[in-house]
């Protein structure tokens, strides 16, 4: 996932190892650069040649490849976003001299499906390292200040091992007092940090089509912690191609599965999905595609504020005040395809349907 430390690790390796090679090149932000520019830079740096004639077709000439094949080089390709670009930049690795190495970082595991010898999946920081990293940015030392220990733990829990989030939030809270910390943490529960969200959103924006994006948003809003078979079935009946879509989301590190085959999404990635939906209409939940907040759903149903934008609703009916639904409560929600009303064990149902329903959306595929 974004911000987990792929580039940081690659830079550390490059700094440590590059002196052992005859030539080296670190190509940063491969996703954003043209292939010709990248190839130009790669060959110029790896061959230690300041001439930039490599921007022409001669870059792939026998002469250039022969020079490359006599050198032991270290090449890092950072943030590769598609298989073709990787093939264009690294397909010539067979021409590299003995002992050469190519290191690739990517958010998409499918990019590494051809010709890669080893794959390392970067995990989040363990708790003690997370506290150290956060404290270094928040307090300029490796442990929290007295009086800030519990609040620091709350931030570390929120970041859930993501180094970028720990650094950004630590820097933001640096030199602020307890009252400001409390205010900032309350705000985070409603409005995620923009800098963190922008980095994470690259993976969402990189999804190929609207179907994949809609599947991601459904999972973020409704299916966290569900069994893979259940999620696949529900997405299939909603008209998605779930098997390939779920695999793509998994390859792009947007979702994972536990040993028990339960679907999980990193808290920050789920928060990013929820924020994407919230931004569809910041002031009117009835104009959003998915609804999950009990207070917002209560207000929408009580005051009949639904619209044809609403596609899915999930509500724990024990989390709202007593509400008697009208027989036409869903009549305006003509795009509804998913409704789930449930109740936690041992809790009280506060939602009642006293007079039936006049109509439900013809697009409805799941009703609980």
Q: What is the CATH number of the domain that holds 216?
A: 1.10.10.10
Query: In this structure, are 213 and 177 located in the same domain?
Result: no
User: How many whole angstroms separate alpha carbon 268 and alpha carbon 59?
Assistant: 42
Number of residues that make up the chain: 368
Query: In this structure, are 137 and 90 located in the same domain?
Result: no
Q: What is the pLDDT along the chain (368 residues), one digit of tens a residue?
A: 999 999 999 999 999 999 999 999 999 988 888 877 787 788 888 887 755 545 555 555 677 777 878 889 999 999 998 888 888 777 656 678 899 999 999 999 999 988 889 999 999 999 999 999 999 999 999 999 999 999 999 999 999 999 999 999 999 999 999 999 999 999 998 889 999 999 999 999 999 899 999 999 999 999 999 999 999 999 999 999 999 999 999 999 999 999 999 999 999 999 999 999 999 999 999 999 999 999 999 999 999 999 999 999 999 999 999 999 988 889 999 999 999 999 877 788 899 988 888 889 999 999 99
Structural domain includes residue 196: no
User: How many whole angstroms separate alpha carbon 45 and alpha carbon 43?
Assistant: 6
**Residue-level pLDDT at 205:** 93
Query: In this structure, are 87 and 163 located in the same domain?
Result: no
Q: How many domains would you assign to the chain?
A: 4
The answer for residues whose C-beta is within 8 angstroms of residue 364's C-beta and 6 or more apart is: 336, 337, 338, 339
**Residue-level pLDDT at 209:** 92
**Residue-level pLDDT at 37:** 78
User: How many whole angstroms separate alpha carbon 148 and alpha carbon 278?
Assistant: 31
User: Domain limits at 36?
Assistant: 6-112
Query: In this structure, are 287 and 267 located in the same domain?
Result: no
In this structure, the number of other CB atoms found within 10 A of the CB of residue 207 comes to: 18
Query: In this structure, are 16 and 97 located in the same domain?
Result: yes
Token pair of 214, please? 């809609």
User: How many whole angstroms separate alpha carbon 293 and alpha carbon 299?
Assistant: 10
Token pair of 216, please? 């991601």
Query: In this structure, are 179 and 240 located in the same domain?
Result: no
At which of 217, 243, 274 does a domain end? 274
Structural domain includes residue 118: no
* b/e per residue 157-166 (b: at least 16 CB within 10 A): ebbebbbbbb
**Residue-level pLDDT at 50:** 55
At which of 274, 294, 313 does a domain end? 274
Query: In this structure, are 23 and 64 located in the same domain?
Result: yes
Query: In this structure, are 10 and 107 located in the same domain?
Result: yes
**Residue-level pLDDT at 55:** 52
Query: Could you tell me the CATH number of the domain that includes residue 24?
Result: 3.40.50.300
């Amino acid at each position: 996932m974004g911000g987990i430390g792929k580039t940081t690790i690659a830079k550390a390796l490059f700094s440590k190892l590059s002196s052992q090679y005859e030539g080296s090149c670190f190509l940063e932000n491969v996703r954003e650069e043209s292939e010709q520019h990248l190839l130009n830079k790669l060959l110029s740096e790896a061959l230690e040649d300041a001439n930039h004639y490599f921007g022409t077709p001669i870059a792939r000439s026998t002469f250039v490849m022969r020079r490359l094949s006599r050198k032991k080089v270290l090449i890092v390709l950072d943030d590769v976003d598609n298989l073709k670009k990787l093939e264009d930049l690294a397909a010539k690795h067979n021409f590299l001299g003995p002992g050469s190495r190519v290191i690739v970082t990517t958010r998409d595991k499918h990019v590494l499906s051809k010709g890669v010898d080893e794959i390392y999946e970067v995990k989040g920081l363990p708790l003690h390292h997370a506290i150290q990293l956060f404290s270094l940015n928040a307090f300029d030392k490796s442990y929290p200040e007295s009086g800030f220990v519990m609040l620091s733990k709350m931030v570390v829990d929120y970041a859930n091992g993501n180094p970028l989030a720990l650094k950004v939030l630590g820097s933001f809270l640096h030199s602020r007092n307890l009252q400001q910390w409390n205010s900032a943490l309350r705000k985070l529960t409603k409005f995620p940090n923009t800098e963190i969200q922008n980095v994470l959103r690259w993976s969402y924006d990189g999804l190929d089509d609207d179907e994949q994006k809609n599947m991601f948003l459904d999972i973020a809003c409704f299916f966290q912690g569900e069994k893979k078979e259940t999620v696949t079935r529900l997405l299939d009946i909603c008209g998605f191609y779930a098997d390939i879509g779920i695999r793509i989301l998994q390859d792009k590190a947007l979702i994972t599965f536990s040993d028990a085959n339960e679907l999980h999404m990193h808290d920050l990635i789920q928060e990013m999905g929820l924020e994407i939906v919230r931004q569809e209409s910041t002031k009117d939940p009835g104009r959003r595609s998915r609804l999950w907040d009990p207070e917002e759903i209560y207000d929408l149903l009580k005051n009949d504020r639904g619209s044809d934008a609403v596609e899915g609703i999930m509500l724990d009916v024990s989390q709202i005040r007593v509400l008697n639904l009208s027989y036409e409560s869903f009549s305006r929600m003509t795009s509804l395809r998913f409704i789930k009303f449930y109740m936690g064990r041992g809790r009280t149902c506060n939602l009642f349907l006293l007079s039936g329903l006049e109509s439900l959306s013809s697009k409805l595929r799941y009703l609980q």
